[in-house]
Amino acid sequence: MKNYNVINESLEIKDDLKNHYFGMKLLMILWIIIGVIALIQFLNDRNDLWNYIQIFIGFLALIGLYDYQFRKTSKSRILISEIESITERRFLGITRYFVLLKNRKKRNLPDVKNDIDLERIKNLINQ
């Protein structure tokens, strides 16, 4: 659900993205901790395949945590003055839309499914 707040000149997006991001960050932190423990065991000459897998997953979680922390945002209220553009990405035939902010962070727009919704959002922003 997206609404344009005339008083604050902001775009209000009501979804559960903040809870989703919190859960993802928590899981990535846990995998980083598990990867560090596996790295310590690896350095103590306990080399087995499971330690390699845990270190690799911990490294991937570190990259993912960086992406969620510094490149994405889950704000529910975005000022119109902060919005730089609306972008889209196509992957395997699925189109996803994002709001690119001036601080170079992206905000997912999960409710935008087609061009009609996209035009409605653009009209809200251009008011």
* pLDDT score recorded for residue 99: 83
89 neighbors 98 (Cβ within 8 angstroms): yes
* pLDDT score recorded for residue 2: 61
Both ends of the chain: CA-CA distance in Å?
18
* pLDDT score recorded for residue 74: 77
> What residue type is assigned to position 51 of the chain?
N
Mean pLDDT in order along the chain per 10 residues (127 residues): 63 77 86 86 80 86 85 79 80 82 83 76 71
> What residue type is assigned to position 101 of the chain?
L
The number of distinct structural domains making up the chain is: 1
For tokens 């009209």, what's the residue?
123
* pLDDT score recorded for residue 5: 59
Q: What is the extent of the structural domain holding 95? A: 2-126
Q: What predicted TM-score, i.e. pTM, was given to this entire model?
A: 0.68
* pLDDT score recorded for residue 23: 86
Q: How many CA atoms lie within 13 A of 107 on its CB side?
A: 27
* pLDDT score recorded for residue 7: 65
Containing H/E element for 28?
helix 17-43
* pLDDT score recorded for residue 1: 46
Q: In the chain, count of helices (H) and strands (E)? A: 3, 6
